[in-house]
Structure 1
Amino acid sequence: MTSETAHDPADDGQVLLDGFLELDTPEGFRAELIEGEIVVTPPPMGDHEDILDSLNWQIGQHSSVRMSWSGTKGLVLRRGGKCPKNHVIPDGVLAPRELRLFRGAGEWMPPDEVTMVVEVTSSRADIDRKAKRHCYAKAGVPLYLLIDQQKRTVTLFSAPNEQAEDYMEDLRVLFGKPLDLPDPFGFALDTSEFE
């Protein structure tokens, strides 16, 4: 007589997560766990970094609140999704400096007090346009700024709806047009810098 044990899909998720956390990614590459898939991206090209530099400078110069910025901080998005714990590394993570959000944080942190995440599309643009957008919305990240190099657009997603797994509002402009960033930023982003 044989005894069969029921297969628990949560075990598969834990095995995937454990394997992901043990990855030894080459320097400059980013490994992320997005909706049950391990995604490894190569180091970004110069245009990608130039756009982030311009954005960071504008936020530092014009934001109505001093913002902290990290381009290397990983976020653990624990709410919803096929995998119990999405692990993403946005191109930018922003929060008011007074929160000291990054102080004492490990390699991965929850997004609880993050104000905005930023992605600049590169080799796998659809991940930024869809999968990451849904991850950020499900996690309740208030603002998602998507700078799409291929489409030459900048989109600010807001009003996350965790049940719908998406943002309910978006404002999109072509490169060269100003984009109003709401409080706590409170200024018009000059997207001509991205051309």
Structure 2
Amino acid sequence: MTERASPTEGPAPSVFETLLRTVEEMDTPDGFKAELIRGKIIVSPWPRPRHLRRMRALREQLQAHAPDGHVAETAPFLFRFSAAERAYGPDLFVADETAFDGEGRHADGAALSLVGEFTSVSTRDADWNEKLDVYGGLVPVYLVVDMQDSEITCFRDPSPHGYRSRTTVSFGEALPLPEPFGFAIDTTGF
């Protein structure tokens, strides 16, 4: 009997799809998240407990001004950015609730109306560079809460070349957010 190649169904998954599936199937330890950054699976800790009050204060303010049908959360969800072949689990996000209706273990990054990242020594570079580039092509508002410099930066007006505008204030100052939020974040408790 001669051996013959047997046809497979559909094209082989891309490296991105394979890595994304691996991230989805990972059983990361409590307090850690796995993301696809620069084509690699990166496991990093969630923000430290000392960030809880700041995260909660920011989430509550955002939820009160979120667009209809959007939810502000700090839950560990993975968002996929297929065009950039990335998948991130933001520290805080505001997204269309319908993005969570599917059966998969990740949501489409296009559902995000805002992302917030709280920097740490280990994540600072990715938050300020890698994620800024990817979010800047799609997500309307990106907040970088820089815990090392005690500042918060709002990036807005995404374009294919990144964000067109940014505003930075020190903790304790009000940070204006553009529409669809249209209010100023109170950072006095930060």
How far apart are residue 171 of structure 1 and its match? 0.8
Residues 108, 64 of structure 1: alpha-carbon distance in 2 compared, 3 angstrom cutoff: closer
> What aligned pairs does 1:39-78 form with structure 2 within 5 A after superposition?
39-61=42-64, 63=65, 65=67, 67-71=70-74, 72-78=76-82
Q: How many positions carry a matched residue from both structures?
A: 174
TM-score, normalising length: structure 1:
0.79
Equivalents in 2 of 1:48, 1:64: separation in Å? 22
1:179–1:191 CA contact under 8 A, matched in 2: yes
Match of 1:27 in 2: 30
Match of 1:38 among 31, 41, 54: 41
User: Counterparts in 2 of 1:70-149, with a 5 A limit?
Assistant: 70-71=73-74, 72-80=76-84, 85-95=85-95, 99-105=96-102, 106-122=104-120, 123-138=122-137, 140-149=138-147
Q: Distance in 2 between matches of 1:146 and 1:34?
A: 17
CA contact (8 A) 2:77 2:89 kept: yes
Aligned partners of 1:32 and 1:39 also within 8 Å = yes
Q: Equivalents in 1 of 2:111, 2:15: separation in Å?
A: 30
SS at match of 1:32: strand
Structure 2: 5+ residue stretches without partners: 1-12
Task: Normalising by structure 2, report the TM-score.
Answer: 0.81
* Structure with more contact order per residue of length (Cα contacts < 8 Å, sep ≥ 6): 1
Contact 1:64-1:187 at 8 Å conserved across structures: no
One-letter amino acid of the structure 2 residue matched with residue 92 of structure 1? L
Which consecutive residues of structure 1, in runs of 5 or more, have no partner in the other structure? 1-9
Identity %: 33
The 3-state SS of whatever aligns with 2:134 is helix
